Copies of this chain bind each other. A is one copy, B any other.
Amino acid sequence: MDAAAQVFAQHGFRGSTTRRIAEAAGVNEITIFRQFGSKEALIKEAMQHLTQSNGLATLPDVPSDPERELTLWSESFIQHLRLQSSIIRKTMGELEERPEMSQCASYVPRQASISLCHYLATLKRQGRAREKFEPKTASAMLMGAIFADAMGRSMMPDVYPQPEAKAAQMYARFLLRAIGVEIGTRRTTTKQTKRTKQLSA
């Protein structure tokens, strides 16, 4: 399955011949058919396995240090997208032909959007955002910027902010500034927040 995912990332579905996959796996081509039944079943299984094993950072339920938390989350998100960029590009290109993959493909961004929206809405409810804003718009901006960066930087590096390693932080700070959240200052009650939360739970 790892070999299948790797070949798929390089060549897409049509280009992932059973021969290539078998070769990459160091296995006889016939073994694939005996184990998975068909090329389609193998690739489907490989993709689902890959989707389930994502190591995304999570945003806290209650914001305490927005700049730090959002930066860490953005960095984890962009790193995930960069690592998987080949597979994501291939999957997106083939979604129209294989719509059954859409559930698999949309899982990660959908979860990310939900938790980011929730985080921003809480920030707003806490009164820590000076500006009026729609969480969904704000979330789409940040995730869109991160997504486009992860997909496009290798093709056109001059379009995205430098250095690459700081891009996620720059997007996160840009977002916070847009919604009017203080950056560069901490909340003194950070540890209390976590403690009270644990106690109340």
Contacts and interface: CB of A to CB of B under 8 A. Distances in A.
A93 B96 contact: no
Interface string A1-23: 00000000011101100000000
Contacts of A14: 12, 14-15
Interface size range on A against B: 35 or more
Interface in A92-143: 92-97, 102, 105-106, 109-110, 113, 130-134, 136-143
Contacts of A137: 161, 170-171, 174
A27 interface: no
A24 to B, nearest CB: 16
A79 B2 CA distance: 38
A132 B200 contact: yes
A102 B30 CA distance: 37
A14 B10 CA distance: 14
A80 interface: no
